[in-house]
Structure 1
Amino acid sequence: MGSALPHDLRCDHRTTPLGVAGAPLLAWRLEGADPVAYQVEIDDLWSTGRVDDPAAISHLYDGPRLRPRTRHTWRVTLWDAAGSTSSAESWFETAHDAWTASWIAPDPDAVEHVDPPTEGDRALSAHGLLPCPQLRRSFQVPSAVTAARLYVSAKGLYDARINGERAADAELAPGWTDYRRRIPYQVHDVTRLVGEGENVLAFTIADGWWSGFTGFDPRRPGYHYGRFPELIAELHLTLANGSARVVMTDGTWRTAQGHIRHGDLLKGECHDLRAATPGWDSPGFDDSSWTPVTVRGADHHLLVPSCDEPVRALRELAPLSITRTGPRTHLVDFGQNLAGRVRLAVPAQDPGTRVTVRHGERLEDDGGLHTANLRTADATDVLITAGGEALFEPRFTYHGFRYAEIDGLESLGEVRAVVLHSDTRWTGAFECSDPEINQLQSNIEWGQRGNFVSVPTDCPQRDERLGWMADAQVFLPTACLNADVAAFFTKWLHDVRDAQTPEGGFPNVAPRLTGVAEEGAPGWADAGVLVPWHLYEVYGDARFLDVDSMGAWVDFVLRHNPDLIWRQRTGPHYADWLAPGPATPREVVATAFFHRSADLTARAARVRGRHADAERFERLAADIRTAFIKTFAHPDGTVSGDTQTGYLLALAFGLLPSSLAPGAARRLAELVHEHGPQAGFLGVNLLCPVLSATGRPDLAHALLRRTDPPSWLYQVRHGATTVWERWDGEGAPSMNSFNHYAFGSVGEWLYSGVAGIGQARGSVAYRDLVIRPLPGDLTWARASYESVRGRIAVSWERTSQGFLLDVSVPPGASATVHLPDGQTHRVPSGDHHFASVRGDTP
């Protein structure tokens, strides 16, 4: 096996982050032999010394305050039992500590306030949207530049350029937060772009979530957080002559309107190339006709460094087919529902030619683009040509689509779909002998990509795209297996806690948005407890567990429901949303989640060493359980309402005594056998795991392979490339998204049930694995997962010799392996092979 080897070093769940604030968590993955000790060092400033801990995969920095705006090199060294050592090295840079720049914007009174025309070549369905301002500053650099860092944020969105080149690959930056509570900034290494002599720092800014159309309230013309976008930036230069210089946003900047006539996340983007200003972002441009910017203030207290990776353009898709549907109209099928934009090479056209790109997820029966489910999201991008060839690619919008209708061109140049999502590195893979289940896994993965755009949204296409908290909490176990989402959810938990009321109530969506029901519903608001606990179990970072926030939520529910049955202050109470079967009683759903939140808050308090709090919440959880049993459980094991989700919640959350649980499990199995899946958003993630845990993996597999509605494979057989909002894809277009990940939460069971990768109860960061493949009638399956500890892999198949299983356990971990014939093996780290002779397998 060799030495214990550290690899994939990470700082605060990112590889080499710029802008680290506070005490970072320094982590590494393992391969090779089991370690017995470690040492972490930062430069020559600090060292842990040798720490004997065979389970360690991270260390929270506890040394002196780190210098701001500084690159720090860090190293981890491991010892193994033989005394051999191995090391790995990485770096991070610390955050800005003292901003001096001002927020700047065009003078609002000078902005072109005109209603867009409804006819002619500049007609826009823009609803009063404004042009995207260009802002620039020319500056001189007296000598060569050895280092350059751009610190930048916007109230809205920004696109940064230096000397005619894009300064960063971040898209839709700085992302979405409740800007009234925090405004993230990014740090970009732009050393290669700045040189001696004249340089130009230039930005285009747009409304984004700050002042554009966001959410589904048609009465609000945007403006949830502000009226006009603003920019703040500082460019810090270190020069070869030993001096330093800062170029910052202030009153010396100049601004003008450019060719982007509007850019809106829901409505779309319009480029009028006749209004372009070539060279505006490069040296030598005459900006004397431009106007001075307005300084909007110098308040920096809300600025915080980004703690996650930004949205990026992470892949491109070529068309599956292009169909001419009119003399100048083409329908492009990219073969995959996705979130992103279209990049279109436009052949030379007469000046003023209008090219329109409309987006949709599906086609109508007559072959036309289906847009009814977009509601008020126009999802339309427009190019107005200036003559000559052009390359059209929006920057300040994104759409959920598979199809694009391109109107205005006799022939198309190259066209591509550019896929956008937060840059969460993919860590998991699953496949099996059934191609339809493999397509389901692909659908789940694409749904995750399309809905992890700055925040975990419900859908990427219609006028909603909100951070619905129930969707996030039920899908999180699947998301964690598919990708490394630790940094992504670190950021989103800031949004969740920012949205918490002084009373302790969590909302239904985060970031908080005016016009959306703010009182949290059961199962939705409980994400403020369930999400951090699951992240802790997966990644081993106790900083996810904010016991004050979690406890405030539980106490909020308790104050309004002293009899421990959650009936009061339930918000809109969505219950088991979109369940196709009988409605689960709302009090059953609510009280089950009340217990779950109290129980997990108690566990979190134990982890954080707050034992008095832990004891109080443990007593509360026990009392809620007693109240649940007394109120809803019956002597035969049935639960009030007699619904699948009622039984799923009761069994999964441990709400029933051992005398009643078998009866509840039997009744659940009867309902599933008779009706197929009848769970909605709050129950679907529990269906297959609970059936498996209660001795009915056969029923779980029957659900997985089912093709009649409601079922996952019904969607697959009807052409789905992402998971649908509704089981059967039917219903009013206004509530019928074809890229919603909640029902895709079955993905966790594909890894843990079908393939068999799981953790033992009480295990954290995959220290104690349980490998229990449930083959059903599949002939083979394999899955791998790059856990926070190291690579876990399972591969099994049925052969003429019997059931064969291969397992890889990462260093520092051990596993209990359960074979389908009943054999159990306890194994250490390493690669292991197991076989059940033919005849011993199910």
Structure 2
Amino acid sequence: MLTIDRLTVEHLGHGCVTDNPNPRFSYTLNGAADDVVRDVTLTVGEWTVHPDTSIATPYDGPALTPFTTYPVTLAVTDAQGVTVTATTSFETGRLGEPWVGTWITDGDYQFTEKKVSPKPMSFRRTVTLAAGKTVARARLFATAMGVYEFALDGRKVGDRYFAPGFTSYKTNLQYQTYDVTDQLTNDGANSDANDDATGTHTLIATVAGGWAVGSFVFTRVNRVTADRQALLAELRIDYTDGTSETIGTDADWDVTMDGPFTMADLYDGETYDATRAFGPDGNAGGAHWRKASIERPKTTPKHIEADYGAPVREHETFAPISCKRRADGEIIYDFGQNFAGVVRLDIANAAAGQTITVRHAEILNPDGTLNTTFLRTAKATATYTCVAGNQSYAPRFTYMGFRYIAVRGIEPKQLTVTGVALYSELTRTGDFACSDERLNQLQSNIVWGAKSNLFDIPTDCPQRDERMGWTGDIAVFAPTACYDFDMGRFLDKWLRDVKAEQLPTGGLPNTVPVQGYGFPATMPEMAIAWWGDAVVLVPWAEYQARGDASVLERMYEPMKRYVNACRFWAGLFGFGKHRYIWWMPTPFQFGDWIAPDVPKMQQWQARGKWTGTASLNNTARTLARVARVLGHDDDAREYDALADRVADAYVSVFTDGDGRLNDEFQTAYVLPLHLGMFPDAATRTKAVNNLAALVERNDYRIGTGFPGTPYILFALADNGRPDVAFRMLTNERCPSWLYEVKMGATTIWERWDGLDEHGECPIGDDGTDLMISYNHYASGAVGAFLYQRIAGIEPIEAGYRRFRVRPLVGGGLTWANGHVDTPYGRVGSAWSITGDRFDVTVDVPFGTTCALTMPDGTTHELTAGTHTATCTL
């Protein structure tokens, strides 16, 4: 019997508030292979459609109205006439309705300091409900220049951190919608609230500097978007008698700089004085309130829209695995896991005015103290001043990347500490495990590296004075991310900013949003290989995982502009085949970034003509595939021809024509092998054997930088050398993935040699200003190999309507399993080896087909259900 497993609006099963006039609906069915769908009916309000796909059907009915709840019903009927239904709903936001409120600030606050964040600012408004009326529905709409948090009658509104989120503020700004119906009463029933018989309530908002006003990027620039914080909000109250009122931010609101948050900075941390904490009415703590001022921020976003991203929320918690008190009185806690988040302090019997300081770090020095050197200018410190008695505290306007903390100012017996992981709300869609526990730890490291850096935007690291949206990291990691998580809302949001930040000539900044990082935004002519490639590679990865072509449609023109810019720069000074060699000088290419076989940044960059040329082939070929999906056949032929010419140029200029590079290094072989740039099978065989020889001479250690690392195992395994691929994957010598595991890593490192065998960092003056992070997901792109080759799961058709399971046996593994939750349901592969017998179980979702290829080469076509197969190895 058919069942409906999932019904979503804009990737959300519930709680969707949208300003999209054409929201998208998706569903997942479960059934047997012989079940037949006779009819599907989707009803949204008064509009009904019979969708021909279960993925992202757009609303195309009467124009939606603002501030409205729309019921959604999906009815599916089988061949026997049996109908099953599922329901959900969504709300519309403002849909362009002008704000009743206006931007407000503290007009007396002049923030002029450099390289720091402004003091947090607090706003207050008393709300009196209409006498004799009952509240039917109440919504708070809010956004800010900075990051904000609301409290209503002393209770936090919502559960998210860092609202309104990080966007390209000059173009895109989100607002949030909070249902506060249950927090508003007019009968005094809420004993925790500051309400009385007349229904009086108090709203308090605290706004810290965040990305818009606070210090950001490693140069610690501030006031990029606004000169000081500002708040824009409305409380819309609907009564049961059909009347409504709206209370917006204006000069009737109060403002103060005297709140309990005395410092909040993304890098430096947070300082909170509980003796200054507001009471429910905002009058406690000695704050001096004055009237707010109307503000005109220096940057006016083109679009202010209902939240369309994946908000940052609390997730896993960690208890310390050890606690050691040092001779100087500092207490060192180890949480056993490197992660991004905050620490929660539960304090017993504190004295009024007692101050507790918490410092954070990823690693310890050999003497057991925190290693904060690699934080660079980031202080990563939380400071809390107590009131008398028992209390709890956790930072709200900062976060850190850490495994260890050092605490001063309190006795261990008075304190319970808990680590709280913060990251974007992402549904876990995949997992992998096998008989080698080292690889299982690697998988965990990949996932935790992703969780720590999928933090409203795809960041590079969560601990030092950076945490920027580096395009190169997500460009190579996106396929792995899309196996592990449903990245739909997260990537859709970030890609809006990629589109907004694209330079007039088609190039892209290295970081999105730019937000104070000048290079190369100050050089609008430039396109940068593999980093700018994110505009092509990220949408393609999301499309392959979810099957929603709308992401390709939205990004198609930016893709074309970027590839055309790359083609222009490759051909600017070249002649003949050299017109397709992207040889741009090293200051403008990252090249084989952090390749461990050469020690200096300049040497990584000097490989830019190899990596840049391969990049042009890859983006052109991918763009041709995109064009074909969208029906732009002329474009597809054009970009396929470009990719062919680039491949021919690479082989002609960089090799002897017979599979050997003139200048040999791993990445220079990996890219043309993986991308199919060698002209024939014989040449590919020679090239892969040359690569294998390089790897063997390097004791099976990795020698690739950012561009080559995601693909080296594929380049070997897919071209007849899986033996070398598995030896590299399972190698424990530095540099390798499992060397990090052997050294106790719980996330992926930025640099392969982040620690030597003695637990010390060997990085010297290599031109990167002590650039080492121990939580950096880029080389975790190897996760795609675990899913696609070892578990063998790979889409044939985008979204997995057709997929293959083709396990690759090797590395001494005796069993492996993986699953991916696709738009059609769960795809699973679980295999084991007993003697010379190979057994596999495959889960095929309803409405899909699977091509199973066994290690002995036999094939099976599978339909919905759970299937087993056996062969002899």
8 Å contact kept, 1:815–1:826: yes
Q: Does 1:146 align with 2:132?
A: no
Matches of 1:387 and 1:285, distance apart in 2:
15
- Which residue among 147, 164, 167 is the counterpart of 1:177? 167
8 Å contact kept, 1:14–1:309: no
- Which residue among 618, 633, 638 is the counterpart of 2:660? 638
Matches of 1:639 and 1:243, distance apart in 2:
76
Aligned CA distance change for structure 1 residues 128 and 707 (closer, same or farther; 3 Å): closer
- Report the residue type matching 1:736 in the other structure: I
1:304 maps to 305
The offset of 1:559, in angstroms, is 2.6
1:120 maps to none
- Which residue among 751, 758, 775 is the counterpart of 2:787? 751
The offset of 1:800, in angstroms, is 4.8
8 Å contact kept, 2:31–2:864: no
1:554 maps to 563
- Which residue among 742, 747, 752 is the counterpart of 1:722? 747
8 Å contact kept, 1:323–1:332: yes
Deviates more, 1:19-28 or 1:710-719: 19-28
Matches of 2:711 and 2:358, distance apart in 1:
41
8 Å contact kept, 1:495–1:512: no
8 Å contact kept, 2:527–2:562: no
2:733 maps to 708
1:359 maps to 360
The offset of 1:798, in angstroms, is 1.4
Matches of 1:561 and 1:599, distance apart in 2:
16
Matches of 1:440 and 1:185, distance apart in 2:
38
The offset of 1:161, in angstroms, is 1.3
The offset of 1:44, in angstroms, is 4.2
> Which secondary structure does the structure 2 equivalent of 1:688 belong to?
helix
- Report the residue type matching 1:176 in the other structure: F
The offset of 1:506, in angstroms, is 1.2
Q: Does 1:769 align with 2:771?
A: no
The offset of 1:821, in angstroms, is 2.2
Matches of 1:793 and 1:668, distance apart in 2:
33
- Which residue among 90, 93, 96 is the counterpart of 1:95? 93
The offset of 1:108, in angstroms, is 4.0
Matches of 2:825 and 2:216, distance apart in 1:
40
- Report the residue type matching 1:70 in the other structure: T
> Which secondary structure does the structure 2 equivalent of 1:588 belong to?
helix
The offset of 1:594, in angstroms, is 1.0
1:253 maps to 253
- Which residue among 803, 806, 811 is the counterpart of 2:846? 811
The offset of 1:128, in angstroms, is 5.2
Deviates more, 1:65-74 or 1:165-174: 65-74
The offset of 1:109, in angstroms, is 2.7
Matches of 1:44 and 1:352, distance apart in 2:
57
The offset of 1:629, in angstroms, is 3.0
8 Å contact kept, 2:136–2:238: yes
Matches of 1:152 and 1:705, distance apart in 2:
50
Aligned CA distance change for structure 1 residues 140 and 569 (closer, same or farther; 3 Å): farther
1:612 maps to 634
8 Å contact kept, 1:40–1:59: no
TM-score in terms of structure 2 length? 0.90
Q: Does 1:741 align with 2:741?
A: no
2:76 maps to 78
Aligned CA distance change for structure 1 residues 637 and 83 (closer, same or farther; 3 Å): farther
> Which secondary structure does the structure 1 equivalent of 2:798 belong to?
coil
The offset of 1:86, in angstroms, is 2.5
- Which residue among 204, 207, 210 is the counterpart of 1:208? 210
Matches of 1:168 and 1:626, distance apart in 2:
56
The offset of 1:206, in angstroms, is 0.3
Give the alignment of 1:532-611 within 5 angstroms. 532-545=539-552, 546-562=555-571, 563-568=579-584, 572-581=588-597, 585-611=607-633
Matches of 1:44 and 1:758, distance apart in 2:
38
Matches of 2:528 and 2:587, distance apart in 1:
5
2:121 maps to 133
Aligned CA distance change for structure 1 residues 405 and 285 (closer, same or farther; 3 Å): closer
Matches of 1:640 and 1:509, distance apart in 2:
34
Q: Residue deviations 1:379-434, cap 9 Å, x none?
A: 01111234333322110000000001011112342211111000101111111111
Q: Residue deviations 1:297-321, cap 9 Å, x none?
A: 4967431222122000112111111
Deviates more, 1:525-534 or 1:630-639: 630-639
Give the alignment of 1:272-421 within 5 angstroms. 272-281=273-282, 289-297=288-296, 301-326=302-327, 328-411=329-412, 412-421=414-423
Aligned CA distance change for structure 1 residues 103 and 373 (closer, same or farther; 3 Å): farther
Matches of 1:288 and 1:310, distance apart in 2:
31
Matches of 1:630 and 1:288, distance apart in 2:
73
- Which residue among 510, 513, 526 is the counterpart of 2:515? 513
Aligned CA distance change for structure 1 residues 43 and 490 (closer, same or farther; 3 Å): closer
Aligned CA distance change for structure 1 residues 37 and 684 (closer, same or farther; 3 Å): farther
The offset of 1:767, in angstroms, is 1.4
- Report the residue type matching 1:820 in the other structure: P
Matches of 1:76 and 1:640, distance apart in 2:
61
Q: Does 1:794 align with 2:829?
A: yes
Matches of 1:655 and 1:420, distance apart in 2:
42
> Which secondary structure does the structure 2 equivalent of 1:683 belong to?
coil
Q: Does 1:530 align with 2:520?
A: no
Q: Does 1:668 align with 2:684?
A: no
Give the alignment of 1:647-666 within 5 angstroms. 647-658=669-680, 659-666=682-689
The offset of 1:127, in angstroms, is 6.3
Matches of 2:586 and 2:87, distance apart in 1:
50
Matches of 2:366 and 2:240, distance apart in 1:
66
8 Å contact kept, 1:233–1:248: yes
Matches of 1:526 and 1:110, distance apart in 2:
42
2:490 maps to 488
- Report the residue type matching 2:18 in the other structure: G
8 Å contact kept, 1:42–1:72: no
Matches of 1:285 and 1:38, distance apart in 2:
62
In the alignment, structure 2 segments of 5+ residues that lack a partner are 187-198, 521-525, 572-578, 599-603, 755-761
The offset of 1:81, in angstroms, is 5.0
Matches of 1:106 and 1:274, distance apart in 2:
24
Q: Residue deviations 1:757-779, cap 9 Å, x none?
A: 1122xx11011111111231111
2:759 maps to none
- Report the residue type matching 2:763 in the other structure: G
Matches of 2:111 and 2:624, distance apart in 1:
56
Q: Does 1:65 align with 2:72?
A: no
8 Å contact kept, 2:111–2:228: no
2:763 maps to 731
2:22 maps to 23
8 Å contact kept, 1:374–1:734: no
8 Å contact kept, 1:560–1:569: no
8 Å contact kept, 1:130–1:261: no
> Which secondary structure does the structure 1 equivalent of 2:512 belong to?
coil
Matches of 1:32 and 1:433, distance apart in 2:
32
1:119 maps to none
The offset of 1:276, in angstroms, is 2.6
Matches of 2:840 and 2:512, distance apart in 1:
43
Q: Residue deviations 1:439-485, cap 9 Å, x none?
A: 11111111011001110111000001111111101111111111111
- Report the residue type matching 1:9 in the other structure: L
Aligned CA distance change for structure 1 residues 651 and 81 (closer, same or farther; 3 Å): farther
Matches of 1:37 and 1:617, distance apart in 2:
41
Q: Residue deviations 1:199-244, cap 9 Å, x none?
A: 22221110011111211115x3x22222211111112211122211
2:178 maps to 188
Q: Does 1:235 align with 2:267?
A: no
1:123 maps to none
> Which secondary structure does the structure 1 equivalent of 2:511 belong to?
coil
Matches of 2:712 and 2:836, distance apart in 1:
33
Alignment RMSD: 2.2
8 Å contact kept, 1:20–1:92: no
Q: Does 1:685 align with 2:710?
A: yes
Aligned CA distance change for structure 1 residues 710 and 128 (closer, same or farther; 3 Å): closer
- Report the residue type matching 2:809 in the other structure: P
The offset of 1:640, in angstroms, is 4.2
- Report the residue type matching 1:432 in the other structure: C
> Which secondary structure does the structure 1 equivalent of 2:326 belong to?
strand
